[in-house]
Amino acid sequence: MSKEERHDFILVKIKKERKLAMVDLAAELGVSEHTVRRDLKELSDAGLLRAIRGGATLRSNMPFDIYDRNNLDVMEKQSIAEKSITLLKNHQVVFFDGGTTTQTIARNIPDSLTLTVVTHSLPIANILANSPNITLIFAGGTFCKSSLTMQGQQTISTFEDIYADISFIGVCSLDLHRGLTSRTHEEAAIKRVLCKNSMNIVAATTSNKLDTLASFLTCPISDISYLITEKDPFDRILQPYAAQGITIL
């Protein structure tokens, strides 16, 4: 089998299985692990997957700019939002991270709920600005155009002074072994504070972000309280996460 054929085989297989072990690939391809390691490095360098110790995983391919994500997976995000709001109760303090899924959750909060919401997302602040029973705290800072959020130490300091009952985290990538990861250092720093100061951490995400990996660690998988996707909670792809003690909705 030529190198090009091996690469095609690997790319087809990883799209189906999301994660591959080097030893299994070597056996299937009939080549040495050294050859597979070199193939995975070349594919990783080309941005087609992410090489990890002992194999490879999908690379997050979500558009970076929030404007490009607004019209993706609209029905799925609505399903996630409807599940997410079942976790909200009167008089909670709630952190809202930036992102299109968290925006949809905010848009679905009933007017009857009395909450204190803390966010650094301009769209979420706009959505909740006129909600009659929500006390809104906006975490200011340096404006990031691609995410429509505030970033930097000023933003982090606001969240550091508050303890939340629940935190809805925008998900870039979530991997069973490497946890929640982000594309930029700045985003990861804010998400880490939200997680640290929250009693319950909710990873609300479309399932296409599961078993993918980005560059900057937000939190280990063991810190996540709830995983909410558009899928049935008993779907096969979610069971390894449930086995880690995460409540699946």
Where are the domain boundaries for CATH 1.10.10.10 in the chain?
3-59
Looking at CATH, the fold of the domain delimited by 3-59 is given as Arc Repressor Mutant, subunit A (1.10.10)
Residue 61 confidence class, pLDDT cut points 50, 70, 90: low
Q: Does 23 score more than 60 pLDDT?
A: yes
pLDDT at 7 over 90: no
Asked whether residue 13 carries a pLDDT value surpassing 50, the answer given is yes
Higher pLDDT, 141 or 53: 141
Q: What is the pTM of this model?
A: 0.73
Q: Could you tell me which CATH number the domain at 66-248 has? A: 3.40.50.10470
- Which pLDDT belongs to residue 10? 84
How far apart, in whole angstroms, are the C-alpha atoms of residue 81 and residue 7? 38
Whether the predicted pLDDT of 64 surpasses 60: no
What pLDDT sits at residue 111?
92
SS3 for the chain is: CCHHHHHHHHHHHHHHHCEEEHHHHHHHHCCCHHHHHHHHHHHHHCCCCEEECCEEEEECCCCCCHHHHCCCCHHHHHHHHHHHHHHCCCCEEEEECCCHHHHHHHHCCCCCCCEEEEECEHHHHHHHCCCCCEEEEECCCEEECCCCEEECHHHHHHHHCCCEEEEEEECCEEECCCEEEECCHHHHHHHHHHHHCEEEEEEECCHHHECEECCEEEECHHHCCEEECCCCCCCHHHHHHHCCCCEEC
What pLDDT is attached to residue 42?
81
Confidence band (pLDDT; 50, 70, 90) for 118? very high
pLDDT digit string, tens, across residues 148-206: 899 999 999 999 999 999 999 988 889 888 899 988 889 999 999 999 999 999 999 98
- Looking at the DSSP bridge assignments, the partners of residue 150 are 143
**Start and end residues for every CATH 3.40.50.10470 domain found in the chain:** 66-248
